[in-house]
Amino acid sequence: MALVPGTSPSGGVILYTSMGEVEVELYWNHAPRTCMNFFELAKRSYYDNTLFHRIVTNFVIQGGDPTGTGRGGESIYGPTFEDEIHPGLKHTGAGILSMANSGPDSNGSQFFITLSPQPSLDGKHAIFGRVKRGMKVVQKIGSVATNAQDKPIQDLKVLRASTALAADSHLGL
């Protein structure tokens, strides 16, 4: 699916995790390149069988790294791409979907979902969606035991990610 100037696809992604389903709505109008990256990676099965490699209680669950180390992953645009920080979008509560990065303009494939309001992340991480369904699953993932490096003691995976265009699904975006 090519992103044509002046148009925005509408669709979301369902993450089938080892603890249940999480359906995310994407903010195509606010972060079109970021949404396209996530949507296309999901469509290409890039996220299938990847770990939630970082879980910080009452903060975030993080995944999207095919190496499972927190140091891997690439975007559909190349190794990294620029931030799409929208001033009207804030990390105001649980269920906000954002890009994980190692600094400005270093987005790849890694993403996180907030477990609570996180205003300290505003302006540093591109928000590109929210959990539409499955927040209890996100909370369950966020409550697992971790080691000192925030890695879950048990493997928690995105078993499969599937895309759905709004017209083809119940997403209604």
Residues serving a catalytic function are 54, 59, 62, 101, 112, 121, 125
Answer whether 161's CB lies under 8 Å from 75's CB: no
Answer whether 115's CB lies under 8 Å from 59's CB: yes
In the beta sheet, which residues pair with residue 52?
63
Q: Cα-flanking dihedrals φ and ψ of residue 45, to 5°?
A: 65, 20
DSSP for residue 117: -
For 63-111, the DSSP string reads EEETTSSSS---BTTBS-B-----TT----STTEEEE--SSTT-B-S-E
143 vs 139: CA distance, rounded Å: 6
